[in-house]
Structure 1
């Protein structure tokens, strides 16, 4: 419920009262004596769902920018007339809240902090995310998401689009783009310091860390996080759910990938950096597209006679731009997803072929230790580099016939990848037990 207070300009008092009477609203009118060209002050309670409708009607009779409208929360209203009004504005038998367009703008602005605070919080988030990725620590990476204040800008930009508020829209997009830039720059600086200090050796393939690897070679599942974050963000804003939890979801889609860009740039791995950058842009577009679509479907848009069409065109323009950009940038994610499926198929086929070959009685002492499908380092669009089969045996030395059979069987499924056979040999002499690996020749 909301409690509304409106200062009524001279000459508009009766028009306002007529609207309130027609709507069946219980109101109080008092004279305004400040001498500032206001005739009266009107106060009345409203169901949350009715706020937007009533304010739009009052706007059409002259309650515009030259009036002051104050909207505050009301805990309880005891009035039969208000109960009737509440029933009339319920939808589908429910009395659930739908935040008014006017309150929505204010809420979006409140969620966007002052720029200096925004920069400081993002710098802290970038430091924590970079440290977490370098240390391969999921807990630390999650901590960086909690710190980042990204929900406000993401929602403000799209609230500004659908309500035709250019100031809110511009500040929202400016905050988003500057925020991503700040995180990437801070991550580059911290990663360079870590590398120069020897905390992470420069010759190491840094993307072997699981937390980093999944962000430099992303697949289509990454879209689910960003799209869900955009929808959930708007629902949290309009329905009064916890914005803090949804803010973590939005940060999860943006902060770690942006930090991954900085780390891979610091290591000179520009292919991996491009993969992470694509993920950042895809997630940014997905969050904004999902938020914009959710707002429009929920009916948030200017209601004036001459405002609807321009707002609709603007929303369609931004929606189309987000959609086209998303389709173009999602192409590498589709390639990675298809590679994941293909890798799984090759792994499954290789497992079956190895088991089939080792069923031969002459290999009864040979056991398969592992079958691995390894990818190359050509990020972000990688390919299968080699299939490595490790078998164990109690007899030293490789078995050329076994190697030939395994090569022939697996090569049918491995395309042009190298097939490599390794022997993990266990040799026992009395109480002396020795284990060593013999690596066979490789075949393409």
Structure 2
């Protein structure tokens, strides 16, 4: 069931207005007095109705002393409540939704819940930096030895989930403060991962012919499609309250391996391959944001200012088309290009089929 238990506390003087607002959004609610001249309402609300309910309450009672709202997850309700299965509560005076409206009905968690889920992951704490570094190091060692399972394991740590989702969400709602915080956190994490994988690359042999590493130096149309799918699937799961580890794997698959590969290449003196891996990282990041913004909008996340949202989306889209043009030009010219090795690295080719 996709529903929430909403507990609303208002002063006694606001009871009639609060009761009228609650009745618009749900048919079953309970009322009880609480100390200090306050009244408490408890109601079960479909997830799709949380957004308008909180907006109505906030618009009428914001700033009033004693007003508060608490939203809790609901596992089961007996007897069944009609509006949990229907789009419009039977008690509502609104006209029934059209078939098109039914088809596009969003069933996501509220914007407040999205903010609560995402803000904690934007703090630049030692734990965040440590998980980013460990994830990148594990991915780097897994790619270096050609062990795909190890690379996947590194993604489950999912340290870049918060800032990546926050960037797309900030662009969608037009929240500059959230976007600024997300960019700082993401860039710091990427730099930390690059520095530590760079150091690792200085001390271990890096064979660029290992498929797991070579695949991070070439951007194919399939890579762009994968990043777009990861961004859309990640936002879709995140906006419906799915497991953060699941969402994190979707995002990490497009970000962590290119970062780790770039660090290894730079550390081993193969700068050109390092820049190619960074190009894959940039392409994936752009794709995730484009797909993320579109998916957030489809999920009904309301922009504060459509001009800001459309402007940011247009910039991301232009960058994406530029990257697609570069990839298409490389393919048209047949310039995947040979891999050039630093001096004394001819042994790579001899050991390519049996990496250490």
Shorter-normalised TM range = 0.7 to 0.9
Structure number with the bigger relative contact order (C-alpha 8 A, sep ≥ 6) is 2
1:338 & 1:139 partners in 2: Cα distance? 34
In structure 1, how many angstroms separate the alpha carbons of the residues matched to 2:79 and 2:55? 24
Match of 1:103 in 2: 113
| Conservation of the 8 A alpha-carbon contact between 2:4 and 2:71 | yes
User: Which residue is equivalent to 2:137?
Assistant: 127
Which of these residues, 315, 319, 338, is aligned with residue 376 of structure 1? 338
Name the Cα RMSD after superposition: 2.9
Change (3 A) 1:242 1:78: same
1:393-432 counterparts in 2 under 5 A? Answer: none
> Secondary structure at 1:300's aligned position in 2?
coil
Residue 323 (structure 2) aligned to one of 320, 329, 351: 329
What's the counterpart of residue 348 of structure 2? none
After TM superposition, give the deviation of residue 114 of structure 1 in Å.
Answer: 6.1
Structure 1 residues 151, 240: closer, same or farther in 2, change over 3 A?
same
Per mean C-alpha deviation after superposition, the further-off stretch among 133-142 and 248-257 is 133-142
1:38-437 pair list within 5 angstroms: 39-63=38-62, 67-79=67-79, 82-84=81-83, 86-89=85-88, 92=102, 97-110=107-120, 115-194=125-204, 200=205, 206-301=207-302, 308=304, 310=305, 312-339=306-333, 375-377=337-339
Unaligned runs of 5+ in 2: 90-100, 342-356
Structure 1 residue 276: Cα displacement: 1.0
Distance across 2 between alignment mates of 1:275 and 1:99: 38
- Matched length: 327
| 1:79 to 1:110, Cα distance in 2 relative to 1, 3 A | farther
- More strand per residue: 1
Match of 1:423 in 2: none
1:219–1:336 Cα contact (<8 Å) kept: no
Contact persistence 1:164–1:301 (CA under 8 A)? no
Change (3 A) 1:278 1:94: closer
Partner SS, residue 162 of structure 2: helix
The answer for the alignment partner of 1:358 in structure 2 is none
| Partner SS state of residue 216, structure 2 | helix
Give yes or no for contact 1:105–1:159 (8 Å, CA) kept in 2: no
Tell me if the contact between 2:26 and 2:43 (Cα under 8 Å) persists in the aligned partners.
no
Which 5+ residue runs of structure 1 have no aligned equivalent? 195-199, 303-307, 344-374, 380-444
- Please say if residues 238 and 247 of structure 2, whose CA atoms lie closer than 8 Å, have aligned partners that are also in contact: no
Q: Contact 1:230/1:250 (CA < 8 Å) preserved in 2?
A: yes
Gap change, CA 1:76 and 1:252, over 3 Å in 2: closer
Q: Which moved more, 1:39-48 or 1:5-14?
A: 5-14
Q: Which residue of 2 aligns with 1:411?
A: none
Q: Secondary structure at the match of 2:266?
A: helix
1:273: Cα distance to partner? 1.6
CA contact (8 A) 1:87 1:95 kept: no
Could you tell me the TM-score, scaled by structure 1's length?
A: 0.66
227 and 18 in structure 1: CA distance in 2 versus 1, 3 angstrom threshold: same
Contact 2:262 2:275 in 1 (8 A): yes
2:15–2:39 Cα contact (<8 Å) kept: yes
Instruction: Indicate which of 24, 27, 48 corresponds to 1:25.
Output: 27
SS of match in other structure, 2:41: strand
